[in-house]
Amino acid sequence: MGSVDADGSAGFLDQAAQSRQEVMTLLQSRSLMVVSGRRLVISLLTGVIGDRCQWFGSATGEGEALELLSRRQPQLLFVTHPLRSGSGLELVRRAKALHPKLRCLLFLEEESPPLVRAALEAHCDGICSDQGVGFGHLVAATRAVLGGGFYMEPQLRDLLARACRSSLAPTGPGLSERELEVLELVVRGYQNPQIASRLHLSVETVRSHLKSAFQKLGATGRAQAAVMAVCQGLVSWHLDELP
Protein backbone atom coordinates (compact mmCIF):
# COMPACT_ATOMS: atom_id res chain seq x y z
CA MET A 1 0.00 0.00 0.00
CA GLY A 2 1.19 3.50 -0.75
CA SER A 3 1.36 6.27 1.79
CA VAL A 4 -1.88 8.09 2.50
CA ASP A 5 -2.08 11.80 1.68
CA ALA A 6 -3.79 14.20 4.05
CA ASP A 7 -7.01 13.86 2.05
CA GLY A 8 -6.72 10.07 1.78
CA SER A 9 -6.34 10.16 -1.99
CA ALA A 10 -3.34 7.80 -2.15
CA GLY A 11 -5.18 5.07 -0.26
CA PHE A 12 -8.23 5.55 -2.45
CA LEU A 13 -6.15 5.24 -5.61
CA ASP A 14 -4.40 2.15 -4.25
CA GLN A 15 -7.76 0.55 -3.52
CA ALA A 16 -9.04 1.39 -7.01
CA ALA A 17 -5.90 -0.04 -8.63
CA GLN A 18 -6.16 -3.25 -6.61
CA SER A 19 -9.85 -3.63 -7.48
CA ARG A 20 -9.11 -3.10 -11.15
CA GLN A 21 -6.44 -5.80 -11.08
CA GLU A 22 -8.77 -8.25 -9.35
CA VAL A 23 -11.55 -7.63 -11.88
CA MET A 24 -9.13 -8.05 -14.80
CA THR A 25 -7.97 -11.37 -13.34
CA LEU A 26 -11.53 -12.63 -12.78
CA LEU A 27 -12.56 -11.75 -16.34
CA GLN A 28 -9.47 -12.98 -18.13
CA SER A 29 -10.49 -14.88 -21.29
CA ARG A 30 -14.21 -14.38 -20.53
CA SER A 31 -16.65 -13.02 -23.10
CA LEU A 32 -18.52 -9.86 -22.10
CA MET A 33 -21.07 -7.37 -23.34
CA VAL A 34 -22.01 -4.05 -21.72
CA VAL A 35 -25.28 -2.17 -22.17
CA SER A 36 -25.82 1.27 -20.65
CA GLY A 37 -27.77 4.41 -21.46
CA ARG A 38 -24.68 6.42 -20.56
CA ARG A 39 -21.61 6.09 -22.73
CA LEU A 40 -19.48 7.27 -19.80
CA VAL A 41 -20.41 4.10 -17.89
CA ILE A 42 -19.53 1.97 -20.93
CA SER A 43 -16.16 3.72 -21.15
CA LEU A 44 -15.58 3.30 -17.41
CA LEU A 45 -16.37 -0.42 -17.45
CA THR A 46 -14.29 -1.15 -20.53
CA GLY A 47 -11.48 0.97 -19.08
CA VAL A 48 -11.56 -0.77 -15.70
CA ILE A 49 -11.68 -4.25 -17.20
CA GLY A 50 -9.21 -3.66 -20.02
CA ASP A 51 -8.56 -5.99 -22.95
CA ARG A 52 -7.87 -9.30 -21.19
CA CYS A 53 -11.41 -10.48 -21.92
CA GLN A 54 -13.34 -10.87 -25.18
CA TRP A 55 -15.59 -7.89 -25.75
CA PHE A 56 -18.69 -8.91 -27.73
CA GLY A 57 -19.88 -5.35 -28.15
CA SER A 58 -21.76 -2.59 -26.36
CA ALA A 59 -25.12 -0.88 -26.75
CA THR A 60 -27.08 2.00 -25.27
CA GLY A 61 -30.61 0.64 -25.80
CA GLU A 62 -32.64 -2.50 -25.29
CA GLY A 63 -33.37 -3.19 -28.97
CA GLU A 64 -29.77 -2.73 -30.05
CA ALA A 65 -28.57 -5.01 -27.26
CA LEU A 66 -31.03 -7.77 -28.16
CA GLU A 67 -29.93 -7.59 -31.77
CA LEU A 68 -26.31 -8.07 -30.63
CA LEU A 69 -27.32 -10.93 -28.36
CA SER A 70 -29.11 -12.67 -31.22
CA ARG A 71 -25.72 -12.92 -32.97
CA ARG A 72 -23.32 -13.33 -30.06
CA GLN A 73 -23.56 -15.17 -26.76
CA PRO A 74 -21.34 -13.62 -24.08
CA GLN A 75 -20.76 -15.31 -20.74
CA LEU A 76 -21.48 -12.13 -18.78
CA LEU A 77 -23.74 -9.18 -19.52
CA PHE A 78 -23.26 -5.87 -17.70
CA VAL A 79 -26.48 -3.83 -17.79
CA THR A 80 -27.46 -0.49 -16.29
CA HIS A 81 -30.98 0.76 -15.67
CA PRO A 82 -32.42 2.90 -17.13
CA LEU A 83 -31.20 2.66 -20.74
CA ARG A 84 -31.25 5.32 -23.45
CA SER A 85 -34.20 3.43 -24.97
CA GLY A 86 -36.05 0.55 -23.38
CA SER A 87 -35.49 -0.98 -19.97
CA GLY A 88 -32.42 -2.59 -18.45
CA LEU A 89 -34.72 -4.78 -16.35
CA GLU A 90 -36.68 -5.97 -19.38
CA LEU A 91 -33.42 -6.51 -21.27
CA VAL A 92 -32.22 -8.91 -18.57
CA ARG A 93 -35.52 -10.77 -18.67
CA ARG A 94 -35.45 -11.13 -22.45
CA ALA A 95 -31.73 -11.87 -22.57
CA LYS A 96 -32.18 -14.71 -20.07
CA ALA A 97 -34.96 -16.15 -22.23
CA LEU A 98 -32.69 -15.94 -25.28
CA HIS A 99 -29.62 -17.38 -23.52
CA PRO A 100 -30.61 -19.20 -20.28
CA LYS A 101 -26.98 -19.71 -19.20
CA LEU A 102 -26.12 -16.02 -19.57
CA ARG A 103 -25.03 -14.35 -16.33
CA CYS A 104 -26.34 -10.81 -15.86
CA LEU A 105 -25.02 -8.11 -13.53
CA LEU A 106 -27.34 -5.11 -13.20
CA PHE A 107 -26.35 -1.61 -12.03
CA LEU A 108 -29.18 0.62 -10.82
CA GLU A 109 -28.95 4.38 -11.25
CA GLU A 110 -31.73 4.88 -8.68
CA GLU A 111 -31.75 3.04 -5.37
CA SER A 112 -35.31 2.09 -4.46
CA PRO A 113 -37.01 -1.04 -3.07
CA PRO A 114 -39.41 -1.35 -6.06
CA LEU A 115 -36.50 -1.38 -8.52
CA VAL A 116 -34.57 -3.92 -6.47
CA ARG A 117 -37.65 -6.15 -6.31
CA ALA A 118 -38.11 -5.79 -10.07
CA ALA A 119 -34.47 -6.77 -10.60
CA LEU A 120 -35.01 -9.90 -8.52
CA GLU A 121 -38.12 -10.76 -10.51
CA ALA A 122 -36.12 -10.35 -13.73
CA HIS A 123 -33.68 -12.97 -12.32
CA CYS A 124 -30.61 -10.74 -12.34
CA ASP A 125 -27.60 -12.64 -11.03
CA GLY A 126 -26.13 -9.55 -9.39
CA ILE A 127 -27.58 -6.18 -8.37
CA CYS A 128 -25.44 -3.13 -7.58
CA SER A 129 -25.67 0.63 -7.51
CA ASP A 130 -23.88 2.11 -10.52
CA GLN A 131 -21.92 4.32 -8.11
CA GLY A 132 -19.90 1.22 -7.17
CA VAL A 133 -18.63 0.54 -10.69
CA GLY A 134 -14.87 0.24 -10.74
CA PHE A 135 -14.37 -0.45 -7.04
CA GLY A 136 -14.85 -3.19 -4.44
CA HIS A 137 -18.46 -4.06 -5.18
CA LEU A 138 -17.65 -4.78 -8.81
CA VAL A 139 -15.02 -7.30 -7.67
CA ALA A 140 -17.35 -9.05 -5.21
CA ALA A 141 -20.28 -9.04 -7.63
CA THR A 142 -18.23 -10.35 -10.55
CA ARG A 143 -16.74 -13.13 -8.45
CA ALA A 144 -20.15 -14.25 -7.16
CA VAL A 145 -21.93 -14.05 -10.51
CA LEU A 146 -19.25 -15.88 -12.48
CA GLY A 147 -19.09 -18.49 -9.73
CA GLY A 148 -22.76 -19.33 -10.24
CA GLY A 149 -23.93 -17.39 -7.20
CA PHE A 150 -26.07 -14.33 -6.55
CA TYR A 151 -24.87 -10.92 -5.32
CA MET A 152 -26.65 -7.89 -3.94
CA GLU A 153 -24.70 -4.84 -2.87
CA PRO A 154 -25.01 -4.46 0.94
CA GLN A 155 -26.55 -0.98 0.82
CA LEU A 156 -29.26 -2.22 -1.55
CA ARG A 157 -29.79 -5.29 0.63
CA ASP A 158 -30.20 -3.09 3.69
CA LEU A 159 -32.53 -0.72 1.83
CA LEU A 160 -34.69 -3.66 0.80
CA ALA A 161 -34.59 -5.17 4.29
CA ARG A 162 -35.89 -1.93 5.83
CA ALA A 163 -38.73 -1.81 3.32
CA CYS A 164 -39.53 -5.47 3.94
CA ARG A 165 -39.71 -5.00 7.69
CA SER A 166 -43.01 -3.17 7.14
CA SER A 167 -44.34 -5.83 4.75
CA LEU A 168 -47.94 -6.97 4.89
CA ALA A 169 -48.98 -10.55 5.61
CA PRO A 170 -47.22 -13.35 3.72
CA THR A 171 -48.51 -14.07 0.21
CA GLY A 172 -46.00 -16.69 -0.87
CA PRO A 173 -46.11 -19.56 -3.37
CA GLY A 174 -47.12 -22.42 -1.06
CA LEU A 175 -43.90 -22.99 0.88
CA SER A 176 -44.16 -25.61 3.60
CA GLU A 177 -43.59 -24.78 7.27
CA ARG A 178 -40.27 -26.65 7.20
CA GLU A 179 -39.13 -24.86 4.02
CA LEU A 180 -39.88 -21.54 5.70
CA GLU A 181 -37.88 -22.58 8.77
CA VAL A 182 -34.92 -23.49 6.57
CA LEU A 183 -35.14 -20.20 4.64
CA GLU A 184 -35.35 -18.23 7.89
CA LEU A 185 -32.00 -19.70 8.93
CA VAL A 186 -30.50 -19.09 5.48
CA VAL A 187 -31.47 -15.42 5.84
CA ARG A 188 -29.69 -15.32 9.20
CA GLY A 189 -26.49 -16.61 7.59
CA TYR A 190 -26.51 -20.30 8.59
CA GLN A 191 -24.94 -22.88 6.29
CA ASN A 192 -26.53 -26.27 5.57
CA PRO A 193 -24.72 -28.26 8.33
CA GLN A 194 -25.68 -25.61 10.91
CA ILE A 195 -29.29 -25.60 9.70
CA ALA A 196 -29.39 -29.40 9.90
CA SER A 197 -28.09 -29.36 13.47
CA ARG A 198 -30.46 -26.62 14.59
CA LEU A 199 -33.55 -28.26 13.07
CA HIS A 200 -32.47 -31.84 13.87
CA LEU A 201 -32.42 -32.82 10.19
CA SER A 202 -29.88 -34.45 7.91
CA VAL A 203 -27.86 -32.19 5.61
CA GLU A 204 -29.40 -34.00 2.64
CA THR A 205 -32.92 -33.19 3.92
CA VAL A 206 -31.96 -29.54 4.25
CA ARG A 207 -30.72 -29.56 0.65
CA SER A 208 -34.01 -31.14 -0.43
CA HIS A 209 -36.07 -28.46 1.35
CA LEU A 210 -33.93 -25.73 -0.21
CA LYS A 211 -34.26 -27.21 -3.70
CA SER A 212 -38.04 -27.30 -3.32
CA ALA A 213 -38.11 -23.72 -2.00
CA PHE A 214 -35.95 -22.51 -4.91
CA GLN A 215 -38.36 -24.05 -7.41
CA LYS A 216 -41.43 -22.54 -5.76
CA LEU A 217 -39.85 -19.08 -5.54
CA GLY A 218 -38.26 -19.22 -8.98
CA ALA A 219 -34.86 -18.55 -7.40
CA THR A 220 -31.50 -19.68 -8.77
CA GLY A 221 -29.74 -20.07 -5.42
CA ARG A 222 -29.87 -19.66 -1.65
CA ALA A 223 -29.06 -15.94 -1.51
CA GLN A 224 -31.65 -15.01 -4.12
CA ALA A 225 -34.24 -17.30 -2.51
CA ALA A 226 -33.63 -15.67 0.87
CA VAL A 227 -34.05 -12.16 -0.51
CA MET A 228 -37.19 -13.12 -2.44
CA ALA A 229 -38.69 -14.78 0.64
CA VAL A 230 -38.09 -11.62 2.66
CA CYS A 231 -39.60 -9.42 -0.05
CA GLN A 232 -42.75 -11.54 -0.09
CA GLY A 233 -43.07 -11.30 3.68
CA LEU A 234 -42.50 -15.04 4.14
CA VAL A 235 -39.63 -14.72 6.61
CA SER A 236 -38.27 -11.91 8.76
CA TRP A 237 -34.95 -10.22 8.04
CA HIS A 238 -33.44 -8.19 10.86
CA LEU A 239 -30.49 -6.02 9.92
CA ASP A 240 -28.48 -7.03 12.98
CA GLU A 241 -28.71 -10.68 11.91
CA LEU A 242 -27.31 -10.22 8.40
CA PRO A 243 -24.03 -12.05 7.69
pLDDT in tens, 73-128: 999 999 999 999 999 999 999 999 999 999 999 999 998 988 988 888 888 989 99
pLDDT value at residue 24: 77
Share of residues in the chain with pLDDT > 90 (%): 37
Which segment of 62-71, 125-134, 139-148 scores lowest on mean pLDDT?
Answer: 125-134
The CATH fold assigned to 9-162 is Rossmann fold (3.40.50)
Nearest alpha carbon to residue 219 among 101, 106, 123, 91: 123
CATH 1.10.10.10 describes domain 169-241: yes
Decide: 108 and 127 in contact? Cβ < 8 Å: yes
- By the 10 Å C-beta count (0-12 exposed, 13-18 middle, 19+ buried), 2 is classed as exposed
Query: Residue ranges per domain, the chain?
Result: 9-162, 169-241
* Closest listed residue to residue 237, CA positions, set 226, 224, 225: 226
Q: Does a cis peptide bond (omega within 30 degrees of 0) precede residue 82?
A: yes
Query: What pLDDT shows up at residue 73?
Result: 92
